Amino acid sequence: MARVRIVTDSAARFSTPDFLHRHPITVAPMTLRCGAMTLTDDPYAELAAAQSLFDACEPAPIAEPPTVDAFTEVYTQLQKDASHIVSIHTSSLMTGTYENARQASLNFLGRCNIQVIDSQAVSLGLGLLVRAAAEAAARDASADDIVRIVRGMIPRLYTVFFLEDMAYLERNRLVSRSQAILGNMLGVIPFLTIEDGRIVAMEKVRSRTRALEKLLEFVTEFSTVEHLALLHSQSPLNEETRQVVERLQSLHPGTPVSVLTYGPSLATFVGPNALGIVVLETEEEGL
């Protein structure tokens, strides 16, 4: 039998562009839909590829999870040479991906040990968990050990971001339609976090400069960090994001700082012009 196999979904993003070429990870694709228009997502999809969907939809296309049948097909193929599968997915409070994977796994009881994990994260946060699982599998770690590693990381992952269109808060049922319209008229910029797998509004600011300061203030709350990442919407970096990266590097010298664009799936929740930071706290501080 082969080693433990790792499965994730296409909302995951990875800090190195060749990651999926170096590790045998199976990715179940999500689908972005706007009426009859669809786009198949993947971990390297650029927002520009989905621009027509965002232009056509108000406020955004819908990110549809892989179906139960799609996961059943994935697990059926993998069980041919693997007795254990660890399937790590986008927060169950953001999409139905985790639940569909869990339902599919029930079809393999007694035939293949499939452990499905709710990452309580998305994008690079999910990608960092998948990376840790893949690296452990490459070391021939058992499925139980891999699950323990991933579950131990989840409480150490933090994501904060701000966006400039409050319609996305309305879409996530964080504000009413009237609040979203008024907020946009007043130029309010929401500052958000992912807490226990749910997008939560932390506070609102009145300028982009203050929003950037809030991102950096959040990072200063950590004395030791294992990994930092800036999530932005478009390449290449502009002067503003370049300055943020430099500040991150100065706040935590020696800590890896990844800079990458977030994908279409996350954009359905935060819009195509958000800016965010992902923090992986060191294990010692997270205990």
Is it the case that residue 192 has pLDDT exceeding 90?
no
What's 282's domain CATH number? 3.30.1180.10
Are 183 and 252 contained in the same domain? yes
3-state secondary structure of 140: coil
Q: Write the pLDDT tens digit of every residue in 77-120.
A: 999 989 899 999 999 999 999 999 999 999 999 889 999 999 99
Contact 199, 269 (CB under 8 A): yes
Domain boundary among 132, 154, 176: 154
Is it the case that residue 266 has pLDDT exceeding 60?
yes
Are 23 and 146 contained in the same domain? yes
- If you average pLDDT over every residue of the chain, what do you get? 89
Domain boundary among 154, 186, 218: 154
Are 117 and 189 contained in the same domain? no
Are 91 and 191 contained in the same domain? no
pLDDT of residue 287: 45
- Give alpha helix (H) positions in the chain: 19-22, 51-56, 68-78, 97-105, 124-138, 143-153, 167-171, 177-186, 208-220, 239-251, 264-270, 283-286
Are 264 and 177 contained in the same domain? yes
Are 137 and 241 contained in the same domain? no
Neighbours of 271 (CB within 10 A): 22
Are 177 and 264 contained in the same domain? yes
Is it the case that residue 176 has pLDDT exceeding 80?
no
> How many domains in the chain?
2
What's 147's domain CATH number? 3.40.50.10170
Q: Which two tokens stand for residue 60?
A: 């955004």
Task: Report the C-alpha gap between 220 and 229 in whole angstroms.
Answer: 14
Percent of the chain scoring above 90 in pLDDT: 56
74 φ, ψ to 5°? -60, -50
Q: Write the pLDDT tens digit of every residue in 16-66.
A: 888 999 999 999 999 998 888 888 998 988 888 888 888 888 767 888 999
Q: What pLDDT band is residue 286 in, cutting at 50, 70 and 90?
A: very low
Is it the case that residue 2 has pLDDT exceeding 90?
no
pLDDT of residue 240: 84
Are 9 and 150 contained in the same domain? yes
Per residue, what are the HEC states of 220-267? HCCCCEEEEEEEECCCCCCHHHHHHHHHHHHHCCCCCEEEEECCHHHH
Q: Which two tokens stand for residue 26?
A: 């199976």
Task: Single out the residue of 190, 180, 235, 182 nearest to residue 210, CA to CA.
Answer: 190
Are 281 and 162 contained in the same domain? yes
Percent of the chain scoring above 70 in pLDDT: 94
Are 140 and 242 contained in the same domain? no
Are 104 and 165 contained in the same domain? no
pLDDT of residue 172: 65
Q: Which helix (H) or strand (E) holds 280?
A: strand 275-281
Q: What pLDDT band is residue 285 in, cutting at 50, 70 and 90?
A: very low
Measured in whole angstroms, how far is the alpha carbon of residue 92 from the centre of its chain? 12
Neighbours of 80 (CB within 10 A): 9
* Tokens 């997915």, located at residue: 89
pTM over 0.75: yes
pLDDT of residue 44: 87
Please give the residue range of the domain that contains residue 138: 5-154
Are 9 and 126 contained in the same domain? yes
User: Which residues neighbour 187 within 8 Å (Cβ) at sequence distance 6 or greater?
Assistant: 206, 207
| Of the candidate ranges 27-31, 127-131, 164-168, 228-232, the one whose mean pLDDT is the lowest | 164-168
Residue 111 burial (10 A CB sphere; 0-12, 13-18, 19+): exposed
Domain boundary among 110, 130, 154: 154
